[in-house]
Chain A
Amino acid sequence: MALNRRDLLKIAALTSAFPLFGCEKVTSELSKKLGQTIPEKFGIAHDAAVDRDFHLLSRATYGIWPGDLDYLKKCGRDQWLQEQLSPEKIDDGACELRARRFETLWLDPGTCAEFKKPVLRDELVRHMLLRAVYSKRQLLEVMVGFWTDHLNIDVNKGDAIYAKAFDDRKVIRPNALGNFRNLIAASATSAAMLIYLDGKENRRASPDAIPNENYARELLELHTMGVDGGYKQKDVYEVARCLTGWRIHSPWQRGQVYFDNDQHDNGTKLVLGHRIAAGQGERDLDSVLDIVCKHPSTARHIATKMVTHFVSDKPPPEMVQKVATAFSSTGGDIRSMLLAIFSSPQFDQYPAAKIKRPFHYIASALRSLAADTYAHSSLTEYLSRMGHGPFEFPTPDGYPDQSSYWVSTLLWRWNFALSLCAGNIAEVSVSLPQLAQAMGAEMGQGKGLHAEKMFAHFVGRKPNEHELEAFHGHLSIKPGESRDAELVGLMLSSPAFQRC
């Protein structure tokens, strides 16, 4: 919906006059005008099995906003994917209103160092969650999440937090749907990564200095080739030698990365059988990246991770092969790999086969309900309680993608869902009556909700007899708002909504 000039002026005036809380109210009003709301009417799935398009949405997005399914069905899967793979063409104004407001996200590491660490962490997490919930560039956000795990940085290590916003802005986001080698190259010289994996300490101050292997090992083991990728301990050592000399300025130009040739081991190296000539200085990094990114183990490792993420915890080997081929034949084009996954007929054979990780679970609940939130701590604390606080995984392998890792978080999921629906999470609001009405699930004054329709909106299929029976216990007690809230809370607590 277009905004007229008068609306904008009015909002601008209000925004400047109001304290933060008022500002959020105004932003919410403006967002609604920009379409970030529940449509007047929207469709739901009707079958006993999970709707095929719903399945695509539940894997390629952080959840189904009311109306998403209609839109996908209207434009078709191919066009929808093309749109999502060109996120720069999608107008994301409404999301920007909520997510752009965190000033530390736009600063360089040196300036971030002027802020207190809890402030930085808070803004990073809120920004991440708000984009996941409100962005229309959903596949981009999902891939940002994927690469954030792949190139994990725990902001609690050293001063990494000062440089993480820069890493998010300059390493992860611009390359999330781009080229793999560019992504790894950006990460290799990212201040946050140099801090997190000790790359900044990897130097050759004297001829007999021993390199710090931390980053070199994870570059091979986690970021590119995989633990069984075929490299030897000797290769780790040689890669570490190639990467000596990358430093971070301090205090002058604090946080800027530079290459110090005097701290670089300029001797000849032998990486995975490739000889790297002496005296190449910072070009050694390019040589290493060329060798490892072109290695077939890397194509296989990245393909396996992506298929695990988007298809199944047990990635079907033929599909991994297909995606690895897409990687190799395009020189690591991430879009081509995604297309290979989503256009594969096999993709449709895995509906509801994965368990949502807590971040996905929370985002999808908020999206399904079209919740209004600014991700204050009352909400984000659920992430840490479920062990999934963004940028806080201690080890470089990133949050696990295997469903079995996450199943012990059920109690917190149930409490989140029940509290969310009842409006008991401070500063997060939902409107169940409006949602029910728009999907035709309002049974009329005092009669409660149409359980079958509500459920289909959340999970992409009709409830089975067991599920209906569980809900009916609630439908038979005294009607009221809190009963409706409890019913919807149960739907979001059900096994079906844990799945995607």
Chain B
Amino acid sequence: MEPRNQSAFQSQSHSQSRRSFLRRLAFADDATATGANRSLVCIFLRGGADTLNMLVPYGMDEYYKLRPTIAIKAPGKSSESAIKLNDLYGFHPKMAPLLPIFADGRLGMVQGVGSDNESGSHFSAQDQMEHGESCRHSLGGGWLGRHLASRTQSKQTPLSAVAIGTALPEVLRGAPAASVIRSLDDIKLSAPAGDTQLVAAALAKLYQAETALLAEPGKTTLDLLKRVQKLQQKTYSPANGAIYPDNTFGHGLKELARLLKGNVGLEISCLDLNGWDTHFFQGGAAGLQADSIEQLALGLAAFDKDLGSTRNRVTTIVITEFGRRTYENSSLGTDHGRGFTAFAIGERIAGGQIHGALPLLSKGQEVDLFGPAGLPISFDYRSVLSEILVRALDNRRIDCVFPGFNSQEVGLVKRSIV
């Protein structure tokens, strides 16, 4: 974890810059990677996901003591039991669709990821995580925005960064261009008198004259229209028999696969999955959280299948703002905690394993109530993100993305072979 003492923090930044310099040198020879060759899909589970019931430590007695009603049963014959991964961990039964990817060595997990935010506030914790900063040390823009901005040499397109949804997520703030779309087919311009080009030309004139907030979005939108027209001319059917779940999340992933396979220069994409704030009646193998897990797992499995060979250049990361408390509350749910398990899929992921130490499960009532506590944090979330940006996306200016942050080895992403 990052030292909280400010002076200690600064004294380390010197060695940090030396290290990142060396790292940049190491990558200088790696000329094979270009911007569009590496793509990151960032999935945010909004509300603070209870990952303790997703990657279940069935081998620990404490787990069952803390969660008398909502714990997932140890691996067994019942369909409500966890799916065994090793002697300690099992998947929630609804995670089953991801099992082949885990077995294939492309899905990896990290235990005890989190931030130094102790507020217990969704907004404060999400904002901090999306901005990629430490608590109360505000940086400009989001970490993916800074990542994109740091890649000045690579070619930015209106589709370099896409958020599926209706609003630009904080994480993409500061990106040179970022588009928010719901579906590819939606992207067209209406022209009452029939000539789309004429309307587009007039809009271009109007937005060119803007100097403030609307200038860039105007230009980006007009560029996007042109590029997408090409993709729209073909109807899309998922490859390899992939079937996406019929929900917003599934549809979003399908649109992303379409863009990724369409080679439009998509580097960064963001997708949210809501509904993880399970204070109340969280459920176990079935119920509120199980439904969310099912959406996630079915969606990711279909996405992986559909991508086919394109998956070689796609890394997917799944994070949340904080985990939940280790023990259930009186409304059979869980309250806001701290550490969580991060999930990542990709060729470059050191998958088929769980990184990081076994979380310490203890009730410690006093500490928990006034903490708020939960799983202890072994890895600052930025260490995980840094590793992905540097090793999976070949970012050579990680110091611009997380300035002054001293990254720790996680081992989630394989070192690239120079």
Interface residues of A (CB under 8 A from B): 198, 201, 203, 205-206, 209-210, 212-214, 217, 221, 227, 233-234, 236-237, 355, 384-388, 394-395, 397, 400, 403-411, 414-415, 418-419, 421-422, 424, 464, 466-467, 469-471, 473-474, 477, 480, 482-483, 485-486, 489-490, 493-495, 498
Contact = CB atoms under 8 A, between A and B. Distances in A.
Nearest to B218: A410
B192 A486 contact: yes
Given A237-B370, A394-B274, A477 B121 contact: no
B189 A387 contact: no
A414 B189 CA distance: 8
A408 B179 contact: yes
B210 A495 contact: yes
A211 B18 CA distance: 49
Contacts of B330: 203, 205-206, 209-210, 212
Contacts of A227: 119, 121, 123-124
Nearest to B277: A214
A482 B192 contact: yes
B31 interface: no
Interface in B199-217: 199, 201-203, 205-210, 213-215, 217
Contacts of A355: 213-214
Interface in B118-139: 118-124
Contact of B280 (A201, A209, A407): A201
Given A209-B330, A400-B167, A470-B202, 4 more contacts: A203-B330, A227-B121, A233-B120, A418-B191
B331 A473 contact: no
A77 B202 CA distance: 37
Contacts of B168: 404-405, 407-408
A407 B199 contact: no
B151 interface: no
Given A210-B330, A408-B178, A467 B335 contact: no
B221 A411 contact: yes
Interface residues of B, number: 62
A411 B189 contact: yes
B206 A490 contact: yes
Nearest to A466: B209
Contacts, number: 166
* Chain A binding surface, main DSSP class: helix
Contacts of A418: 189-192, 199
B194 interface: yes
A387 B166 contact: yes
A422 B217 CA distance: 25
Contacts of A395: 46-47, 122-123
B217 A407 contact: yes
B329 interface: yes
A212 B280 contact: yes
A467 B206 contact: yes
Given A209-B330, A227-B124, A498-B214, A493 B203 contact: yes
Nearest to A464: B209
Contacts of B192: 418-419, 421-422, 424, 482, 485-486, 489
Contacts of B275: 394
A265 to B, nearest CB: 12
B371 interface: yes
B253 to A, nearest CB: 19
Interface in B236-286: 274-275, 277, 279-280
